[in-house]
Copies of this chain bind each other. A is one copy, B any other.
């Protein structure tokens, strides 16, 4: 049996709040063994949703919080109003006090990032945290970061992203010497003023052991699996993530329309529905991103996640904790003196 994982669950985040968070937690129990939950949220809302789920009920302790950080609050506003008593803040406090192994929230990303950074602080040697996810590719999975934690970048920050992303690929994807690429475009490769250019030079010059830095890659290489780790500044990373999601949705809807467009295609769809269902599962947009570079593991779920997708994010968090992603980064950034 794998070691027990204690999950601090912000029940009040996301577009749908507690019903999805708790239905997702229950669903996750079908896939995960030896986990337990600390559920942070409004008792009157959360308790009935848990008592009707006996398996979840047995594994969950509720911690009441009546303050909710809204999805549309600016990070500064969220900090003022929710820093000490919100369900999101209390879930992060549980990590700080070592009462949980990771915290998860589908809430306001900016607020989650701000609270996590203030409460957990960054690992020594890391100035700014990053948000990283595993992206499906033709060859398996690719670590992509930063997906939206620290907008704006200089060469040193991108260098740290490569180190942290490499550690994530080694531990979570079990790749000994992961290949790393810098997201670029034909111009940034020649533009000495561009942050990606300077970072590329720095990574080439340094030749980090344990990393195989291959230079610039493009947005299409995320899906192709050309490298194990794709490094980019957070604004571009967030744009890449969202535009890939938009494209996937566009294709899915067009496919649905096409399969309904004639009788023969309807019959064809019925015959192939097993394959379509496998495809849907395989291509379901991955959910769950991890903040790297903090003293603790905080997982962000998509705000619009449904229960199945929230369960994916919980499973992702467990995978990151069991793989030891967080501690491998701490070791890398702070080498133990011999």
Structural contact, B75 and A235, CB atoms closer than 8 A: no
A32 within 8 A of B: no
Q: Which chain B residues lie closer than 8 Å to A254 at the CB level?
A: 279, 282-283
A242 within 8 A of B: yes
Structural contact, A271 and B274, CB atoms closer than 8 A: no
Structural contact, B220 and A249, CB atoms closer than 8 A: yes
As for how many copies of this chain the complex holds, the number is: 2
Chain A binding surface SS class: helix
Q: Which residue of chain B has its CB nearest to the CB of A255?
A: B279
A70 within 8 A of B: no
**Which residues between 224 and 274 of chain A lie within 8 Å of chain B, taking CB atoms?**
224, 232, 234-236, 238-251, 253-255, 258-259, 261-262, 264-265, 267-274
| 7 closest cross-chain pairs (CB), A and B | A219-B242, A268-B272, A223-B246, A268-B271, A219-B243, A220-B246, A265-B272
Given known pairs A220-B245, A220-B246, the reply for A235 and B265 (CB within 8 Å) is: no
Structural contact, A235 and B272, CB atoms closer than 8 A: no
Q: Which chain B residues lie closer than 8 Å to A166 at the CB level?
A: none
Q: Which chain B residues lie closer than 8 Å to A108 at the CB level?
A: 186
Question: What CA separation (Å) do A204 and B151 show in the bound complex?
Answer: 23
Q: Which chain B residues lie closer than 8 Å to A240 at the CB level?
A: 219, 239-240, 243
Structural contact, A261 and B275, CB atoms closer than 8 A: yes
Most B Cβ at <10 Å: residue of A74, A109, A254: A254
Instruction: Name 16 extra pairs, CB < 8 A, besides A220-B245, A247-B248.
Output: A185-B242, A188-B235, A219-B240, A220-B249, A223-B246, A224-B249, A235-B236, A236-B239, A239-B239, A244-B246, A244-B247, A254-B279, A258-B276, A264-B272, A265-B271, A268-B268
Interface residues of A (CB under 8 A from B): 74-76, 108-110, 136-138, 148, 151-152, 183, 185-188, 190-191, 193-194, 196, 218-224, 232, 234-236, 238-251, 253-255, 258-259, 261-262, 264-265, 267-276, 278-279, 282-283
Q: Which chain B residues lie closer than 8 Å to A258 at the CB level?
A: 272, 275-276, 278-279, 282
Structural contact, B245 and A219, CB atoms closer than 8 A: yes
Q: Which chain B residues lie closer than 8 Å to A269 at the CB level?
A: 268, 272
Question: What CA separation (Å) do A246 and B223 show in the bound complex?
Answer: 5
A263–chain B nearest beta-carbon distance, Å: 9
A281–chain B nearest beta-carbon distance, Å: 10
Question: What CA separation (Å) do A76 and B191 show in the bound complex?
Answer: 11
Structural contact, B191 and A151, CB atoms closer than 8 A: yes
Q: Which residue of chain B has its CB nearest to the CB of A187?
A: B151
A254–chain B nearest beta-carbon distance, Å: 6
Structural contact, B275 and A239, CB atoms closer than 8 A: no
Q: Which chain B residues lie closer than 8 Å to A185 at the CB level?
A: 148, 151, 234-235, 238-239, 242
A238–chain B nearest beta-carbon distance, Å: 4
Q: Which residue of chain B has its CB nearest to the CB of A263?
A: B271
